[in-house]
Amino acid sequence: MSRVAAIQMASGPSVSANLLEAARLIRNAAQAGAELIVLPENFAIMGVTEFDKVKISEQDGQGPIQDFLSQQAAKHGVWLVGGTIPLVANNPNKVRAACLLFNAKGERVARYDKIHMFDVRVEESGENYVESETIEAGDTTVVVDTPFGRLGLAVCYDLRFPELFRRLLDDGMELVAVPSAFTAITGKAHWETLVRARAVENLCYVVAAAQGGYHVGGRETHGDSMIVGPWGIVLDRLPRGSGFVSAEIDRGRLESMRRNFPSIQHRKLRCS
């Protein structure tokens, strides 16, 4: 068995301050025995405006945030899912919301660019979100071999699209990391339901790392970072505040469950 962790933060507009907090939480999770650690979406910056992240975007493969992730993974000897960071896009006025995976040597082994854009109006609060104004959508799913199993990557709003997770499942996914920053209202309504549903329907582990708290730009995020097992049971959770959750991944139990409860093999319809 292997221990995994999901980190929860309430990031602000200062990249340096956010990285200091992330380093502290990564250290704490590693000291608690975590071998795979997942950071939340936008862990390095939650700006006053949505365009703040465009100003600090990095070229793919170089930049202080990417260096930080590599160094932290190597320093603690852990696999690290770097939430999302803003990487340069084809459109100079936008970024790619890139989720980067580093191995325990600090080597980057995968990159997933968030596919689904959060372009919605939350009627209860009057909030408007138009991620497509500043984020260029990706178009490729990612599943990668790790010591903990076949790891899929998804980000926040992706949770609402089960066909994405079926694609990951068809590529052999056994656990999935979901860095997120759900709003307080949508999180209260749907976060736990969606995280547990993705675990149950795909018989997989879900490591969901969230932003949780109040942010300088006026946004409030839901938090409730959690790790959910393939039977839909919440193995650990953190409702609010900075910190981390951790749990053991048991691949033997996962294989047994999939063998004895073969709902995946019972599928009749397939996404094109």
Beta-bridge partners for 121? 128
Catalytic site positions: 41, 114, 156
- Domain boundaries defined on the chain: 2-260
Whether pLDDT at 259 is above 90: yes
User: For 23-51, what is each residue's pLDDT tens digit?
Assistant: 999 999 999 999 999 999 999 999 998 89
Kindly report the CATH class assigned to 2-260.
Answer: alpha beta
Single pTM value for the model: 0.97
User: For 193-219, what is each residue's pLDDT tens digit?
Assistant: 999 999 999 999 999 999 999 998 788
The answer to whether 177 touches 154, Cβ cutoff 8 Å, is yes
d(CA 150, CA 43): 24
